[in-house]
Amino acid sequence: METHGLLMVFTGNGKGKTTAALGMAMRSAGHGLKVCIIQFIKGSWTYGEIEAIRRYADCIDLHVMGRGFTWKSDNLEEDRRLALEGWNLARQCMDSGTYHLVILDEFTYLLHYKMLDLDTCLKALAKRRKEQHVVITGRYAPDALVEAADLVTEMQAIKHPLQAGIKAQRGIEF
Ligand code: ATP
Ligand code: MG
């Protein structure tokens, strides 16, 4: 079957964006296809996810970029340097031909806070290998990214247990 590489975006203010990306990683891994996950906010993948991924180490590579920042930190120069480093890694992974699926988790924030140039990123994404599937997650996906994507899902927050004062639950939140 011919592979048509898709650009996919999971955005919105509801829970489930990163979880959906992980589900897709598992689905690819189930086919024995290689997946690369780049975490753009350190700690955005929790203990439960990291341990699960470890069991698929032959199929899923995980890279952690950044330093746990919110992309609104006091050291803008360092943030920009790390953003560029992460983006360069993402491009390498997309160009390598190694991966069926590349997941850029919380990448929208780099665009939203203008840590990276949106046009440059969109051009590079558009020029990726034609078989390369890419998932981008995070709130505030810029309009131009939504426009460029083949699949966009917006998670809408209707209720979250935190609002009722319920603490984060093991296996659900971490
Ligand atoms: P998950 O990692 O559970 O799939 P996510 O990737 O959609 O969530 P993020 O925006 O990355 O969500 O935020 C991560 C954390 O913020 C998670 O612990 C999540 O439960 C929490 N969160 C997400 N949406 C809400 C919300 N509407 N209210 C409160 N907390 C939220
Ligand atoms: Mg997330």
Q: pLDDT by residue (tens digit) across 41-71? A: 877 788 888 899 999 999 999 999 877 666 6
Between 173 and 121, where is the model more confident? 121
- Residue among 9, 10, 15 whose CB has most ligand 1 atoms within 8 A, to mutate: 15
Ligand 2 ion: residues within 5 Å (CB) = 17-18
Q: What is the pLDDT of residue 72?
A: 64
Mean pLDDT (the chain) is 93
Strand arrangement, sheet containing 151-154: 60-64, 35-39, 101-105, 133-137, 7-11, 151-154
Ligand 1 lined by 27 (C-beta under 6 Å): no
Considering every ligand atom shown, identify the ligand nearest to the alpha carbon of residue 20 and give its number: 1
Nearest atom in ligand 1 to 19's CA: 4
pLDDT tens digits, 5-19: 999 999 999 999 999
Both tokens of 104, joined, read 């850029």
Average pLDDT over residues 95-101: 97
Compute the distance between CA of residue 126 and CA of residue 70 in angstroms, rounded to an integer.
Answer: 27
Beta carbon of 157 within 6 Å of any ligand 1 atom: yes
More confident residue, 2 or 104: 104
Q: How high is the pLDDT of residue 76?
A: 84
